[in-house]
Amino acid sequence: MACCYQVSLGGGIVVVAASSFSVNSKLKPIPFLKAELLKPMASDLSPDRSIFHDASSSSPRRDLVFIVNPRGANGRTGKEWKKLLPYLRSRLGKNCNICESLTSGPYHAIDITREAIREGADAVVAVGGDGTLHEVVNGFFWAGKPVTNHNREATRSTALGLIPLGTGSDFARTLGWKNDPCEAINRIAKGLRSPVDVGVITGESEEESHYFINVADIHLSAKAGYFASRYKRFGNLCYVIGALQAFMGHKNQDLRIKVNEGEWETCSLVTALCIGNAKYFGGGMKITPNADPSSGNFEVVILQDFKWYDFILKLHRLYNGTHLSVKNVSSRSVISIEVEDISGSGSIYVQSDGEHLGFLPRKFCILPSAIEMIC
């Protein structure tokens, strides 16, 4: 597949087609976008050059790829990004090659990220919400392994950056970041890195891997997330609408779990099971309050035998993270967990970072310090 990048160098912006590469069969193909000159091309950029500077050059400039979902947050992300560009250029332009890429649809950010890493980018920065971040994180991996720089002599890996501009931005909450894009740009300018863990999800065929950086969840909350994705135009209200729709016809289910490759155990009447690499999901709900993306462990929180009125009465505790002391709520620290639907109905929803992944069974494992993140 061929990807297109919008590249900003020396004040000019041009769409540059990246080299073709194979695409995972599970992904929907993204159509090639016709290259279009938006502003005069920088004089030192020829059509057959890499989008990044020559690795043999003595230039200390960092190559930064900003991946933007212009339709995120009902179009607000694209508008905010345009307003932010002058400050970004003034803050980073002296020391960085700024490459801007607008996604054209689902999964495009995955492909762009992989190509950027192979080309030797210093950092790939997700601009948007948790959905864009989720795709960029998945782009750091290919066929169950980390994507690597084509230059085998490179000593520095590509880092992950984030400018939160989306609907939820739940992962940023865990890091204690304000929803301030200028503050995020200042972090990127400093370039300080810290390793973060990533979760990997496999189905019945372990050859099919999916990655997440925030929270994966099962049953009611995953079903609510599935419906909420249809109402993103309403902002954070989409999570409330999704939850109300998910409750219609909902039944608590018996599940089997296997923790850390141990023995199978039964969890009766499960309402929701959440696997947290970070703390928040659903637009600010502190569902796994003890999770830490640099701990090397997940926090697993299980809600059992909840009725609709339990959520109304205890909603404030779910948001402030004090629900672990509530009856029928349990928590444990794990490095892996397998989950199966005892009934075998194939109708128990699974999602990660707000993205619908299908249905049980699934296995979740932690990958400690899998990515370096600009913090």
Residues recognised as catalytic: 130
The residue among 203, 239, 210 whose CA lies nearest residue 223 is: 239
Q: Are 259 and 334 in contact (CB under 8 A)?
A: yes
User: Residue 244 is which amino acid?
Assistant: L
Q: Are 259 and 280 in contact (CB under 8 A)?
A: no
User: Residue 259 is which amino acid?
Assistant: V
Residue 269 neighbours by CB under 8 Å, 6+ apart: 252, 253, 254, 304, 305
The residue among 24, 26, 23 whose CA lies nearest residue 1 is: 23
Instruction: Count CA atoms closer than 13 A to 370's CA, side-chain side.
Output: 24
The residue among 173, 152, 151, 155 whose CA lies nearest residue 164 is: 173
